[in-house]
Structure 1
Amino acid sequence: MALVPAVVAVTQLGRIHPDEVFQALEPAYWRVHHYGVLAWEWRDGIRNWAVPGVLATFLKLASLLGITDPQGYRAMTALPQLALHVWSLWAVYRFTARRAGSVGGWLAVMLVGLYGPVIVFAGRPLAESFSTSFLLVAMEALDRREREVRAGLLGGAALGLAVVTRYPSAICVVAALLWLLASRRWRMLLFTCLGGLVVAAGLGLLDHLTWGSPFHSFIAYVRFNVLSGAAAARFGADPPSYYLKPFLLGVPLWAWGAVPLAFWAVKRKWEVSLPLTCAALYTAVLLSTAHKEDRFLYPALVLGVLAAAAPVVTFITTRPFRGLRWGLSVAALVAGLASALYFPAMDVRGDQFRAIVASTRKEGATGVLIIAEGLWGSGGYFYLGKNIPWLTCDWPQDGAFQTAMHDRRFNRVITLQDRALKELEAAGFRTVERFGRQSLLVRD
Structure 2
Amino acid sequence: MALLPAVVAVVQLGRIHPDEVYQALEPAWWRVHGYGVLAWEWRDGIRNWAVPGVLAGFLKLASWLGITDPQGYRAVTALPQLALHAWSLWAVYRFAARRAGSAGGWLAVLLVGLYGPVVVFAGRTLSESFSTSFLLVAMEALDRREREVRAGLVGGAALGLAVVTRYPSAIFVLAALLWLLAMRRWRMFLFTCLGGLVVAVGLGLLDHLTWGSPFHSFIAYVRFNVLSGDAAARFGADPPRFYLMPLLSAVPAWAWCAVPLALVAAKRKWAVSLPLACATLYLAALLKTAHKEERFLYPALVLAVLAAAPLVAAFITTQARRELRWGLSVMALGVGAASAFYFPPFDLRGDEFRAIVASTRREGATGVLIVAEGLWGAGGFFYLGKEIPWLTCDWPRDEAFQVAMRERRFNRVVTIDDRTLPELEAAGFRTVERFGRQSLLVRD
- Normalised by the length of structure 1, the TM-score is 1.00
- Alignment of 1:100 onto 2:100: yes
1:152 partner letter: G
**Cα shift readout 1:190-211 (whole Å, capped 9, x = no counterpart):** 0000000000000000000000
Structure 1 residue 148 corresponds to structure 2 residue 148: yes
Cross-structure match for 2:124: 124
Cα distance in 2 for partners of 1:398, 1:66 equals 38
Q: How does 1:158-197 map to 2 (within 5 A)?
A: 158-197=158-197
* Whole-Å separation in 2 of the counterparts to 1:13 and 1:102: 36
Count of matched residue pairs:
444
Q: Distance in 2 between matches of 1:122 and 1:162?
A: 14
Q: Which residue does the alignment assign to 2:137? A: 137
Correspondences of 1:410-429 after superposition (within 5 Å):
410-429=410-429
Q: Does the residue aligned with 1:414 lie in a helix, a strand or coil?
A: strand
Question: Which residue number in structure 2 is paired with residue 23 of structure 1?
Answer: 23
2:357 matched residue in structure 1? 357
Q: How does 1:295-314 map to 2 (within 5 A)?
A: 295-314=295-314
Q: Which deviations, in whole Å up to 9, do the C-alpha atoms of 1:370-408 show, x marking residues without a partner?
A: 000000000000000000000000000000000000001
What is the CA–CA distance in structure 2 between the aligned matches of 1:186 and 1:441, rounded to whole Å? 65
Instruction: Report the Cα offset of residue 262 of structure 1.
Output: 0.2
CA distance in 2, matches of 1:171, 1:249: 24
Q: d(CA) in 2 for partners of 1:202 and 1:254?
A: 40
- Rounded Cα–Cα distance in structure 1 between residues aligned with 2:31 and 2:80: 17
Q: Secondary structure at the match of 2:41?
A: helix
Which residue of 1 is the match for residue 377 of structure 2? 377
d(CA) in 1 for partners of 2:235 and 2:271?
40
**Separation in structure 1 between the aligned mates of residue 112 and residue 280 of structure 2, nearest angstrom:** 18
Please name the residue that 1:216 is paired with. 216
Aligned residue in 2 for 1:401: 401
In 2: Cα distance, 1:93 partner to 1:187 partner: 24
Could you list the runs of 5+ residues in structure 2 that have no partner in the other structure?
none
Q: Deviations over 1:9-53 (max 9, x none)?
A: 000000010001000000000000000000000000000000000
Query: In structure 1, the residue corresponding to 2:434 is in which secondary structure?
Result: strand
Report the counterpart of residue 239 of structure 1 in structure 2: 239
* SS of equivalent residue, structure 2 residue 72: helix
CA distance in structure 1 between the partners assigned to 2:273 and 2:440 by the alignment = 52
Unaligned runs of 5+ in 1: none
1: CA distance, partners of 2:311 / 2:70: 43
RMSD: 0.4
Q: Offset at 1:80?
A: 0.2
Residue 112 of structure 1 aligns with an amino acid whose one-letter code is: V
Distance 2:211 2:296 in 1: 26
Deviation digits for residues 80-131 of structure 1 (CA, Å, limit 9, x no counterpart) = 0000000000000000000000000000000000000000000000000000
- Per the TM alignment, residue 310 of structure 1 is displaced from its structure 2 partner at its CA by 1.0
Q: Distance in 2 between matches of 1:150 and 1:407?
A: 62
SS at match of 1:247: helix
Aligned to 1:69: 69
What is the distance in 1 between the residues matched to 2:277 and 2:392? 45
Q: Secondary structure at the match of 2:431?
A: strand
Answering whether residue 296 of structure 2 is matched by residue 286 of structure 1, we say: no
In structure 2, distance between residues paired with 1:163 and 1:248: 27
Match of 1:346 in 2: 346
Measured in 1, the distance between the counterparts of 2:345 and 2:26 equals 24
Superposed CA offset, 1:292-319 (max 9, x none) = 0000000000000000011110100111
Aligned residue in 2 for 1:90: 90
Moved segments of 4+, more than 6 Å: none
- The reply on whether 1:441 has 2:441 as its aligned counterpart is yes
**Paired AA for residue 46 in structure 2:** I
SS in 2 for 1:440: strand
Opposite residue 171 of structure 1, the aligned amino acid is: I
* 2:52 equivalent in structure 1: 52
Q: Which amino acid aligns with 2:351?
A: D
Separation (CA, whole Å) in 2 of partners of 1:292 and 1:63 = 38
Q: Which residue of 1 aligns with 2:112?
A: 112
Distance in 1, matches of 2:386 and 2:233, equals: 36
- For residues 254-293 of structure 1, the aligned pairs below 5 Å read 254-293=254-293
Q: Distance in 2 between matches of 1:287 and 1:382?
A: 35
Distance across 1 between alignment mates of 2:199 and 2:248: 35
Which whole-Å CA distance do the structure 2 matches of 1:317 and 1:354 have between them?
A: 42
Q: Provide the C-alpha distance between the structure 1 equivalents of 2:146 and 2:251, rounded to a whole number of angstroms.
A: 32
Match of residue 226 from structure 1: 226
Secondary structure of the corresponding residue to residue 238 of structure 2: coil
Inter-partner Cα distance in structure 1 for 2:222 and 2:402? 42
- The offset of 1:270, in angstroms, is 3.3
Residue 178 of structure 2 aligns with an amino acid whose one-letter code is L
Structure 2: how far apart are the matches of 1:321 and 1:432? 57
Q: Hey, what's the Cα distance between the residues in 1 that align with 2:272 and 2:211? A: 41
Q: Distance in 2 between matches of 1:59 and 1:82?
A: 15
SS at match of 2:267: helix
Q: Secondary structure at the match of 1:431?
A: strand
The residue identity in structure 2 corresponding to 1:309 is A
Query: Shift of residue 188 of structure 1?
Result: 0.3
C-alpha displacement of 1:260 = 0.3
Q: Which residue of 2 aligns with 1:32?
A: 32
Distance (whole Å) between structure 2 residues aligned to residue 162 and residue 107 of structure 1: 26
How far did residue 267 of structure 1 move?
A: 1.0
Corresponding residue SS for 2:95 = helix
SS in 1 for 2:74: helix
Corresponding residue SS for 1:46: coil
1:269 deviation in Å?
A: 1.5
AA at the equivalent of 2:121: F
Kindly provide the amino acid, as one letter, of the partner of residue 419 in structure 1: R
Deviation at 1:272, TM superposition (A): 1.5
Amino acid at match of 2:259: V
Query: Structure 1 counterpart of 2:223, which letter?
Result: R
